Structure 1
Amino acid sequence: MEAEGTPRPEELPDPTRTGLPPEQEARRIEAVRRYDILDTPPDGAFDRIAALAARLFDAPVATVTIVDADRVWFKAAYGLEGVTQTGRDPGLCTSAILTDEPLVIPDTLHDAAARANALVTGPMRVRFYAAAPITTRDGHRLGTVDVLDTRPRRIAPDQTAALTDLAALVMDQLELRLSALRMLRVERELVDVEHAARERAERDRTEIASYAATLQSTLLPPTLPRVPGLEAASHYATASVSDIGGDFYDVFPLGRDQWAFFLGDVSGRGARAAELTSLIRYTLRSTALLEPDPCQVLRALNSALLSHPTADSRFCTLVFGTLAPDPANGFTITLAGGGHPSAFHLQPARRDGPARAASRAARVDLTGGMLIGVLPGVFIASRTLRLLPGEALLLYSDGLIASRSSHGARFDEIGLAAHLTHHAAANTALGAAAIIDDLTSLLATFPVGPADDVALLALSAAPATPGRTPAGASGTTRTSTPLEGEDTG
C-alpha cells in the first residue's frame, strides 16, 4: 500500500526533462505533496511577497511558483492576469530548482535552456529572469520566487540576496501553514476523544505540546546572525507548554553594514497569535528593506494590521531598531517604540582616564509610543543612542517585569533597573550572553516562574581591547517549558 502523499510512478515526469535523478525527483514531489499547497485559493501573504519582489527589482512580473510533477503552478502571480500554471518545460523554473543557489539569466535569448521556453517565445517575450529556490529544511526545492522582465538587465549581489530572503519568507509561510493544519487536525481529534481514558488524554496532551513547540519554533530565529563587532544573545520562555506564546524577536541584515532588530508582544495566544506574529515578522522584514526610518517601518506595520479583516483583535507592542557601525567606535542605534516597555542601555564603570563614570542601567525612554494596530494616527516614540565598546542594550517583554520575586514582591521596572545596574557594576565590559545568562538565572529564582511569556534580546559592542567575548559572536537560548508542576497558560 502506498504511503499518503507518495506520487505514483506514472505521475513522475521524464528525468531527461527535469534534470533530476528519478529517486531525487520522487522525494521532491513527495515534499511538494506534504505541504498540501497545490491548487489552493489565493493567499494574501504570498501575493504580497510577489508584489514586493516586483517592487524591489522594478520589474513588471514576479511570481511564487510550485513545481509539480508535470506543471509549474503559480501560488502568486504579480503582473500575470488570469495565469495559474504553465507546462514544465526545460528552461526557467525547472532549471532554477536544480541547485540551491539563485538563478539569474541576464538575457534569455543567450541562454540555451531558456530561449525555447514559452514565456520567452510567446507573447510575453521575457528577456530577463531571476529566481531563488524555495527550499525545505530537509533540502527539497519545492519551487521558486521569480522576477521577469521584457528587457535584458543585470542585478546587484544585494538584490540576489534579497530574492533569496523572499524565498525563505515563502518557506516560513509554508511551514506555518503546515503546522497550523496539523494543529487543526489535533484539535479535531481532541473533540473526538473527549471521553477517552486518562492515559489517552495524556498522550494527546503530549502531542499538542509537541505541535505547539514546532509551531513556536517557526516564529523565532533558530540562531542570531553574526554582526562584526557585536555580540547578540536571546532567550525565550513560554508560560505554557500546551499553547503558543505571543512574544517574538529577530535580528536581520539590511545591507551596506546596517542591521535591524525587534522585540514585541502580540495580543492573544494560540494559533491566532502565531498567525499574527508571522504577519508582523514578514511586514517588518520586508518593509525595513525599503524604508530606512524605523518610525516609518512601524507606521507601515500599523497600516497592515488595521487593513486586516480581523483588525479589531490584532495589535501588538513593539520596539524596532536599526544599528550601524559608528565611525568613532561602537554602533549608532535608532529605536522606535510602540506601546512596549522601554529598553535599557547598560554602561559599565569607567575607571580609566580623568573622567571616571559610575556604572548604570539607563532606561531608554520610549514613553508615548502607542499600541500598533489600534488607531490610524499612531504616534511612534523614537530615540537615537551610541553603543560604545563594552556597553550593551537590552530589550525585553513585560513577562519579565510582571513576575513575583522570591521575596513575594512584584519584580517591576524599578527592580529590573536595580538588577541591571548591579550587573553593570560587577563587569568592566558588558557582554550580551552574560546579561542573558544573568537574567535567565534570575527567572529561575521566581517561585512560580514568569507570570507570562518572556522574550529577551541583548546586544553588546565588543570591547576596544581583546576580551573574553569574540567580536561578531551570537547565540540563541530558548525554552518552552515552565517550572515543573506549573502551567500558567
Structure 2
Amino acid sequence: MTSRASPDPDPEPAPEPDGPEPGDGGNPEDDLEELYENTPCGQLSSVPGGRIVKVNTTLLDWLGYRREELVGRRTFSQLLSVGGRIYYETHLAPLLRMQGRVGGIALEMKAADGSRLPVLVAASVREGSGGRPALVRTSVFEARDRRAYETELLRARQEADRERERVQQLATTLQRSLLPPALPDIPGTELAAHYHTASIDEVGGDFYDLFPVSGGRWGFFLGDVSGKGAAAASVTSLVRYSLRAASASDPDPVRVLANLNTVLEHENHGDDPRFCTVIHGLLTPGEHGCELTLAGGGHPPALLMRADGTAGYLHTPGGQLVGVLPDAHFAATTVRLAPGDTLLLYTDGLTEARAVHTDGRRREREGGRYGEEALLDFAAGLAPASAADAVTAVGALLEGLGEGVDDDTAVLALGVPVSRKAPETPGTPEAPDGPEPFRSP
C-alpha cells in the first residue's frame, strides 16, 4: 500500500513566464521591431553595392534625415565625411569582403545640417543562397563623448609634454650653471672634462672646476653631493663657492677640505643632512711637467696613467666624507706628472654603473656593478693616453653602459703633453724642447 505525500504547507510560487502573456495585448514581434528602431545605437542595412535598404529611428534622429531620404536613395559611404569615405572605400569595404566582419572603426558621419558626428562602426556580411554576400548589417555607436574625452586626454598629454620640456630645460640650465663653461688654458698642461647626464629630468649633484690661485698655481676639484634635484643643486652651489673661497685665502688642499667640512656641518640642521665626496687638488706647472697635491674626502681614488703604458690608482688614505663629522680627517698626497702622464678624476656614477656581459648576464664581480677593478683594467688598456683621449674613451664607455648608468658622472683629466722638438728655421738657432701649450675645447 502506497502512502500519499502530504502537501507542502508553504509551497513556492511558480515562476512567471518571461515576456508578455498571450492575450495581454503584448506582441513579441512588435517588441523586436521596437527594439530595433529605438536601440541606443544606430542600425543600418545595405546591399553589397552600398545602397541603404533599412535604417532605424535612432540613426535617423542622430543625422536628422527622414527615412525616405535614405532608404533606396543613398549609400552608406555617402553619409560619411570625405576622409571617412576614402577610408571606407580603401580599407573598410575590402576588409568586409575578405573577413566578413569588422569592428571598432572610427569614422565621421555627415548629418543633414552639415555637422559631423563622430562614430564607431561595426559591420558584418550576411550571406545569401550560394554563399554570396546578400546584406551588410552596420551598427553605429555615437562617439561624441569619447571623442571629447580623447581630445581632452590629448590636450592634457600635450600640456604634460610641454611641462616636462620646461622642467628639462630648467634642469639643464641649472646643471650648466653648476659647471664651468670652459676649462682654462694652462701652458704645458692638457685638460679635458665630460659630464654624463643619467636623467634629463633631474639635476645631479656632481661637479668639477679648475681656477687660478696665488703664485701661478691652479686649484681644482671634482666631487658629488648626496641626493638629486633642487636641494642637491643648492648644496652643490654652496660647495663650489666654499671651495673657491677657501682656496683664495689658503690653497692647501687639506685645509680647504677642512673649511668645507665646517661649512657643510653647520648647514646640516634638518632631517635630510647633506654631505659630499670630493677630491681637491693644487696644480703647480713646471718646465717639463707639473706637480699635483691631492686631498680626498671620501671620494673614489684618482687614476694615474703613465707614459710608459702602466696605470694605477692614486689613493689619498684617511679621507672621510665631507659634512658628516665635525672633526673629519683629511690627508694629502703628492705626485708629479711627466710628459705623457695623465691623471683622471671621476665620480662614482661610473664605477657604480650596472655592467652587463655580451651574453646578457650581469657581471658577478663587484656585485653586478662596473667597479674599480674593471675601470683599472680599462685604464691599463688605454694608457698611455692624452687627457682628451682619456675623457673621450670614458665618455664612450658610459654611453656603452647605456641604462646601466643610473647616476650622473663627472670626469676631469689633467695631463702633460709629450714634448716635441720645434722645427729649425734657417739662420736661427735650434729651439729648445719644451711643452706645447694646450687649448682646452
SS in structure 1 opposite 2:351?
A: coil
Q: Separation in 2 of the partners of 1:451 and 1:418?
A: 22
Q: Separation in 1 of the partners of 2:153 and 2:266?
A: 38
The alpha carbon displacement at 1:470 in A equals 4.9
Q: Separation in 2 of the partners of 1:281 and 1:348?
A: 32
User: What are the within-5 Å matches in structure 2 for residues 165-180 of structure 1?
Assistant: none
Measured on the aligned residues, the alpha-carbon RMSD in Å equals 2.1
User: What are the within-5 Å matches in structure 2 for residues 82-481 of structure 1?
Assistant: 197-308=156-267, 310=269, 313-326=273-286, 329-349=288-308, 359-407=309-357, 408-409=362-363, 410-424=369-383, 427=384, 430-465=385-420, 470-475=436-441
SS in structure 1 opposite 2:213?
A: strand
SS in structure 2 opposite 1:474?
A: coil
Does structure 2 retain, via aligned residues, the 8 Å contact 1:404–1:447? no
The alpha carbon displacement at 1:263 in A equals 0.3
List per-residue Cα deviations over 1:171-214 (Å, max 9, x = no partner).
xxxxxxxxxxxxxxxxxxxxxx9997112111111110001101
Does structure 1 retain, via aligned residues, the 8 Å contact 2:419–2:436? no
Which residue is 1:149 aligned to? none
Does structure 2 retain, via aligned residues, the 8 Å contact 1:323–1:331? yes
Amino acid of the structure 2 residue aligned with 1:385: V
Q: Separation in 2 of the partners of 1:466 and 1:433?
A: 21
Gaps of 5+ in 2: 1-151, 364-368, 423-434
Does structure 2 retain, via aligned residues, the 8 Å contact 1:317–1:338? yes
Q: Separation in 1 of the partners of 2:277 and 2:290?
A: 25
Which residue is 2:27 aligned to? none
Q: Separation in 2 of the partners of 1:294 and 1:194?
A: 56
Which residue is 1:52 aligned to? none
Q: Separation in 1 of the partners of 2:419 and 2:349?
A: 34
Does structure 2 retain, via aligned residues, the 8 Å contact 1:230–1:473? no
Does structure 2 retain, via aligned residues, the 8 Å contact 1:221–1:250? yes
List per-residue Cα deviations over 1:396-416 (Å, max 9, x = no partner).
000001113341322110110
Moved segments of 4+, more than 3 Å: 193-196, 309-312
Amino acid of the structure 2 residue aligned with 1:387: L
List per-residue Cα deviations over 1:57-95 (Å, max 9, x = no partner).
xxxxxxxxxxxxxxxxxxxxxxxxxxxxxxxxxxxxxxx
Q: How many residues align?
A: 268
Larger Rg over CA atoms:
2
Amino acid of the structure 2 residue aligned with 1:403: A
Give the structure-1-normalised TM-score: 0.53
Q: Separation in 2 of the partners of 1:415 and 1:279?
A: 33
List per-residue Cα deviations over 1:235-282 (Å, max 9, x = no partner).
101211111001000010113220011000001111111110110111
The alpha carbon displacement at 1:381 in A equals 2.5
Q: Separation in 1 of the partners of 2:225 and 2:403?
A: 23
The alpha carbon displacement at 1:219 in A equals 0.3
Does structure 2 retain, via aligned residues, the 8 Å contact 1:341–1:396? yes
Amino acid of the structure 2 residue aligned with 1:241: I
SS in structure 1 opposite 2:267?
A: coil
